[in-house]
Amino acid sequence: MALIIQKYGGSSVADADKIKNVALRIAKAKAEGNNVVAVVSAMGDTTDELIHLAQQISEYPEEREFDVLLSTGEVISSTLLAMALGNLGCKAVSLTGAQAGIHTDSNYNRARILRVNTERIISELNKDNVVIVAGFQGVTSNMDITTLGRGGSDTTAVALAAGLSADMCQIYTDVEGIYTADPRLVPHTSKLDRIGYEEMLEMASYGAKVIHPRAVELGELYNVPILVASSFSDTPGTIICKEASMDMEVKNKVTGIAHDTNVAKITVVGIPDRPGVAMTIFEPLARANISVDTIVQNASTEKITDLTFTVTQDDLYKAMSIVEPVANSIGGKQCVADSTLAKVSIIGSGMQNTPGYAARMFHALSEQSINIQLITTSEIRITCIISRDSVKDAVQVLHRAFELESV
């Protein structure tokens, strides 16, 4: 009997009818002779609504309470789905993340799964139950509830697939797979049959929110192939798996374009250009668990320099409150924040060691008169930071420039 992990995202369980549709799909997989563990997200925009509610009470809610609040969205959808399966005569039990044995560190709001204790799930499967797990949440060693970061239910699913050595991990969503760019932004995107973990991780980390980056990381680490497909149709979808070496040799192109509008920039103006200054600024940010992306320091002539870096827009307030006093203490003139930015990235393992991609990207952006503020690269990615207003034009022009309409 195969063990399948299925994950259904928020839009797939957005109302009672959609939950019933998901129940039918799960009951079918079960009737075909599989053991099924289904991970669910919160219904529709529930998580956004809970965030909004908390912010009406407190502008910066206490992190522990905030995570308990957010975790309730997934608890609601998991119970409703278990009821819908019961109505179909399919035995099902819902479990919270804690009940399902998802143990995390205590970084509220962005916790990482440390281990999965699969005992309870296995005992429920042995009773012939379909197990419905509330995604996006776990529990610390102190039994406090944590959440895994926006989109984190994907990570719950892949972690369970790894922990249970499942035969398959299927992520069902509102698009039919992974496309060469966000199909909601670009007309004529192409669906990929498969994509390697490495490329998918870059896509997801740089804004392709179709899958949570940590889910891809875990998939690669534990060698779990992940299917991304639609919960509304039976079209085949995209497999995220190891890149076959043959493909790597023949492939010499950009695989996809990612964009991210959750970007802010901080510039620390007029700081001394001497050893230890970067450490003084970035150490407290790291201690506060703020992840810093692009970092640029101007070459100084007068031993005074400017330092610019990006954080997520969500972290901007916290980052500024840390950096401003530090910058003052080392004689900085001022800290300037800009939260009107976006990142646009081209990604492809075929770019490795091949010249010309950056020039082609900059050419395409310049033809649209899009100003590049910062640039960052990895071996298989080039990212430009641009104004948020231009992001749609940028993704569309790059999609055309790299001939992704017919892959």
List contacts with ligand ASP (CB under 6 A): 9-10, 41-42, 47, 73, 135-136, 150-153
Helix (H, G, I), strand (E, B) or coil at 368: coil
CA 265 to chain centre: 20
Write the CB contacts of 108 (distance below 8 Å, at least 6 apart in sequence).
63, 64, 66, 67, 146, 147
184 contact choice in ligand ASP, Mg ion, ligand ADP, none (CB below 5 to 8 Å, kind-dependent): ligand ADP
289 and 110 Cβ atoms separated by less than 8 Å:
yes
> Min. distance of Cβ 168 from ligand ASP in angstroms?
19
> Which is nearer to ligand ADP, 166 or 178 (by Cβ)?
178
> Min. distance of Cβ 304 from ligand ADP in angstroms?
41
The one-letter amino acid code at 337 reads A
Q: Tell me the backbone φ, ψ of residue 77, rounded to 5 degrees.
A: -65, -35
Q: How far is CA 243 from CA 140, 220, 379, 387, in A?
A: 35, 11, 16, 34
> Which is nearer to ligand ADP, 208 or 285 (by Cβ)?
208
> Min. distance of Cβ 307 from Mg ion in angstroms?
34
> Which is nearer to ligand ADP, 74 or 182 (by Cβ)?
182
Closest to 212 in 3D by CA, of 169, 167, 151, 170: 151
179 contact choice in Mg ion, ligand ADP, ligand ASP, none (CB below 5 to 8 Å, kind-dependent): ligand ADP
> Min. distance of Cβ 155 from Mg ion in angstroms?
10
Write the CB contacts of 252 (distance below 8 Å, at least 6 apart in sequence).
350, 354
11 contact choice in ligand ASP, Mg ion, ligand ADP, none (CB below 5 to 8 Å, kind-dependent): ligand ADP
> Which is nearer to ligand ASP, 47 or 231 (by Cβ)?
47
> Min. distance of Cβ 257 from ligand ADP in angstroms?
8
Shortest Cβ contact with ligand ADP: which residue? Answer: 9
194 and 227 Cβ atoms separated by less than 8 Å:
no
> Min. distance of Cβ 181 from ligand ADP in angstroms?
6
42 contact choice in Mg ion, ligand ASP, ligand ADP, none (CB below 5 to 8 Å, kind-dependent): ligand ASP
> Which is nearer to Mg ion, 9 or 97 (by Cβ)?
9
205 and 213 Cβ atoms separated by less than 8 Å:
yes
136 contact choice in ligand ASP, ligand ADP, Mg ion, none (CB below 5 to 8 Å, kind-dependent): ligand ASP
> Which is nearer to Mg ion, 9 or 332 (by Cβ)?
9
Tell me the CB-side half-sphere exposure of residue 174, using CA atoms within 13 A.
14
247 and 407 Cβ atoms separated by less than 8 Å:
no
> Which is nearer to Mg ion, 73 or 332 (by Cβ)?
73
> Which is nearer to ligand ADP, 307 or 381 (by Cβ)?
381
Q: What is the distance between the alpha carbons of residues 271 and 278, in angstroms, rounded to a whole number?
A: 10
Footprint of Mg ion (CB under 5 A): 9, 151
**If you count them, how many residues does the chain have?**
407
Shortest Cβ contact with Mg ion: which residue? Answer: 151
Q: What is the distance between the alpha carbons of residues 26 and 367, in angstroms, rounded to a whole number?
A: 49
Q: What is the distance between the alpha carbons of residues 296 and 384, in angstroms, rounded to a whole number?
A: 13
Footprint of ligand ADP (CB under 6 A): 9-12, 41, 151, 173-175, 178-179, 181-184, 208-210, 256
Question: DSSP assignment of 227-266, as one string?
Answer: EEEESS-----EEEEPPPHHHHHH--S--EEEEEEEEEEE
> Min. distance of Cβ 204 from ligand ASP in angstroms?
12
> Which is nearer to Mg ion, 73 or 151 (by Cβ)?
151
Helix 357-367 vs helix 391-401: crossing angle, to nearest 10: 130
- 378: β partners: 381
175 contact choice in ligand ASP, ligand ADP, Mg ion, none (CB below 5 to 8 Å, kind-dependent): ligand ADP
287 contact choice in ligand ADP, Mg ion, ligand ASP, none (CB below 5 to 8 Å, kind-dependent): none
- 94: β partners: 132
> Min. distance of Cβ 280 from Mg ion in angstroms?
37
> Which is nearer to ligand ASP, 43 or 166 (by Cβ)?
43
> What tokens appear for 118 in the block?
């699969």
205 contact choice in ligand ADP, ligand ASP, Mg ion, none (CB below 5 to 8 Å, kind-dependent): none
